[in-house]
Amino acid sequence: MDTSPMPPTFRSSLVNLRHINFQDFSNSLTPEKAQEPSNALLESVARSGILHPPILREQGLTMLEIVTGRRRLLAAQQTMHSISAICLLLPADTLPVEALAINLEDTLLRGDITVVEQAIFFRKILVYMNEKEASHRFLPLLGLEPHRHHLHTLLQLLGLEEHLMGAVHEGQLHDGVARELLALNFTDRLSLYEVMEILCLSVSNQKKITATCRELAARHNTSVMALLCQPEVRQILDPQETNIPQKTARLMQWLTEQRFPSLAAAELEFRAFANTLKLPKALTLSHSPSFEQDQVHLSIPFANRQELCKVWPLIANVLKLS
């Protein structure tokens, strides 16, 4: 026997925008700062109106609650071309669970639902149903097994500050890194994210700087904030004449040297050794990764194969003699 919910019943109506309760965020799945329409949406609505009708729920005798399409409605309101829009209406007796489920379906159809939107959805739906019911009904829609630990993993993100949650939503902060930041105190978390934001760090560098800073802070019994306030770090981050990739490379190198001081010392010793050889600028001398072996590699560039063939007999003769 099929126990899935019946499809909702809509009716189409021309709605006066003044009858919409824009202060009601009951069904909104986006962080507050992400709820304003983009310039592209404003321009589209100004040119062609709302092409995808929002869904509203009747609220009392005259007011209407937004289920989907908040940004589209705000765009219509702000373009000032009309005071009304065609919308799909749900009856007032539509259950809050079903209104939220409709918003989830609409967001999924957009094709790029974020983990923050998923987390906000579950926070709101759990007001009306238990974790087991929510997991079995909605997690499969997100491509997840209906296990509650997936739900708990999503809900963790709601412990972030609004600024960081917005960064996860916008794709500027990786959600896995964000969960690691939650293990830090408030000042350490914001200090570390500030550096990520300044340098526009890639996901791999976000993971690397988080792991390195946490390890160094624990090793030296200090805070991440104190670590990142050291003069050496400020000298890397503060100069205006240095571009972002240069700052990133220098900071990552400094952190690696602090994390692996023996490797840093070995690197200095190797550079000193290389300098004693007085190699021509075109030649490069390199060591094995992390000095795991004693081997060194000398690289000699040639303009083309013909140039190599010219000098190869001499090189081969030297190699035989050695």
Q: What residues does each domain of the chain span?
A: 11-113, 173-259, 280-321
DSSP 29-67: -S-GGG-SPPHHHHHHHHHH--SS--EEEEETTTEEEEE
Task: For residue 51, give Cα distances in angstroms to 38, 41, 101.
Answer: 16, 11, 22
Chain centroid to CA 125: how far? Answer: 24
- d(C-alpha 200, C-alpha 245), whole Å: 9
Helices 131-138 and 148-156, packing angle to 10 deg: 100
Among residues 218, 207, 203, which one has the least CA distance to residue 181?
207
Contact 26, 96 (CB under 8 A): yes
Does this model's pTM top 0.75? My answer is yes
pLDDT of residue 127: 97
Q: What is the DSSP letter of 157?
A: G
What single letter denotes the amino acid at residue 205? N
How many other CB atoms sit within 10 Å of the CB of residue 280? 7
Q: What is the DSSP letter of 168?
A: H
Write out residues in the chain with pLDDT < 70, as ranges.
1-6, 80-82, 262-266, 269, 290-294, 321-322
User: Which CATH code is given to the segment(s) 11-113?
Assistant: 3.90.1530.30
Residue in this structure with the two tokens 């003069």, named with its chain if needed: 231
Hey, is 174 helix, strand or coil? coil
How many other CB atoms sit within 10 Å of the CB of residue 29? 26
Q: How many CA atoms lie within 13 A of 317 on its CB side?
A: 5
- What share of residues in the chain are helix, strand, coil (percent, to 5)? 60, 10, 30
Report the 3 state secondary structure along 3-14.
Answer: CCCCCCCCEEEE
Q: What is the DSSP letter of 240?
A: T
Contact 53, 69 (CB under 8 A): yes
Helices 186-199 and 244-259, packing angle to 10 deg: 130
Q: What is the DSSP letter of 297?
A: E
Task: For residue 232, give Cα distances in angstroms to 168, 218, 227, 252, 255.
Answer: 29, 19, 10, 12, 10
> Rg of the chain over CA atoms, in angstroms?
29
